[in-house]
């Protein structure tokens, strides 16, 4: 697998359903021109039609610090009669090394459950893609004091299918409190650290202390250049899954430069 999610320090751009090819090309040019010589690893998650454009534009990224490309979703089956879906093999063939699994908007808009997320993560690994597994609680779940319960349920379901695969351990996590996504409301560094520390403990229990210590756990939830430094100072926050701020290359570069 060409992506290495098990080195902490990772910042990802999730473009969601934004940008056209010309926009994507300009973004990639600005990103490559502005990347610091030494910094966190970077990956871009464009929508499916933009993947070849982005993969081609980023092919010139530094050898020692290549910018990865990922798909925003994938089907758990390797191929078949699944109109509108994309397989892990197709993502890899298009130049991806990553795949988002279980983003809160997929869970909300398409009814994706925990077991399906796990199946998608396993499909990603089968095709040499590093899954970035997304977890997080809703506002109602947080208010009910169920945050840790929800995170444990999601993590255990997502990781269960990976245990039997030969490439086990090749993944990253993204904690995205649903109440802070696209709302402008960001979890305080202390709130985010509390959730990340709990996730690290769960990973240690499930996968072992050594793997848990080296695995990247990203925060995603209205990340900006203004709050990135405070969040990245927390010991268990290893990077960011950036939404709106990743659509502007200068804003995204500011986050990269200002953290880790």
Domains of the chain listed by start with CATH number: 10-257 (3.20.20.70)
Distance CA 187, CA 163 (A): 31
Q: Which residues are catalytic?
A: 103, 176
Distance CA 233, CA 114 (A): 30
Residue 258: φ, ψ to 5°: -95, 10
Distance CA 86, CA 76 (A): 9
Residues 3-39 have pLDDT tens digits of: 566 566 999 999 999 999 999 999 999 999 999 888 8
Q: What sign does the CA torsion over 235, 40, 129, 250 have?
A: positive
Of 14-28, 122-136, 160-174, 204-218, the one with minimum mean pLDDT is 160-174
Other CB atoms within 10 Å distance of the CB of residue 161: 19
Nearest to 133 by CA among 150, 148, 114: 114
Q: What is the pTM of this model?
A: 0.94
Q: Which residues contact 23 (CB under 8 A, 6 or more apart)?
A: none
Contact predicate 7/211, CB 8 Å: no
Residues 146-170 have pLDDT tens digits of: 999 999 999 999 999 988 765 455 7
**CA end-to-end distance (rounded Å), the chain:** 24
Per-residue pLDDT, averaged over 185-204, amounts to: 93
Distance CA 135, CA 206 (A): 16
Distance CA 142, CA 195 (A): 11
Distance CA 206, CA 64 (A): 32
More confident: 186 or 252:
252
Residues 41-97 have pLDDT tens digits of: 999 999 999 999 999 999 978 767 789 999 999 999 999 999 999 999 999 999 999
Contact predicate 101/121, CB 8 Å: yes
Percentage of the chain modeled with pLDDT above 90: 81
> What pLDDT was estimated at residue 5?
66
Average pLDDT, the chain: 92
Using DSSP bridges, classify how beta strands 41-45 and 68-71 pair: parallel, antiparallel or unpaired: parallel
> What pLDDT was estimated at residue 1?
35
Nearest to 202 by CA among 190, 212, 193: 212
């Amino acid at each position: 697998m060409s992506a290495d999610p098990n080195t902490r320090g990772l910042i990802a751009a999730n473009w969601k359903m934004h940008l056209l090819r010309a926009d994507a090309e300009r973004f990639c040019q600005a990103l490559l021109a502005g990347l610091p010589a030494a910094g966190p690893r970077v990956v871009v998650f464009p929508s499916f039609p933009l993947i070849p454009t982005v993969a081609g534009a980023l092919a010139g990224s530094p050898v020692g610090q290549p910018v990865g490309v990922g798909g925003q979703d994938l089907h758990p089956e390797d191929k078949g009669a699944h109109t509108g879906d994309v397989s892990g093999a197709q993502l890899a063939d298009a130049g991806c090394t990553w795949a988002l699994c279980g983003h809160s908007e997929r869970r909300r808009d398409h009814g994706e459950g925990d077991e399906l997320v796990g199946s998608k993560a396993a499909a990603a690994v089968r095709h040499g893609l590093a899954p970035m597994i997304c977890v997080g609680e809703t506002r109602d779940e947080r208010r009910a004091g169920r945050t840790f319960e929800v995170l444990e349920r999601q993590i255990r379901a997502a990781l269960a299918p990976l245990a039997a695969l030969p490439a086990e351990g090749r993944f990253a996590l993204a904690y995205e409190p649903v109440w802070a996504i696209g709302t402008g409301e960001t979890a305080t560094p202390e709130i985010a650290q509390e959730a990340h520390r709990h996730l690290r403990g769960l990973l240690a229990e499930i996968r072992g202390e050594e793997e848990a210590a080296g695995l990247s756990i990203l925060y995603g939830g209205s990340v900006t250049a203004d709050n990135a430094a405070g969040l990245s100072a927390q010991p268990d926050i290893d990077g960011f899954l950036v939404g709106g701020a990743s659509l502007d290359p200068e804003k995204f570069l500011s986050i990269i430069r200002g953290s880790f």
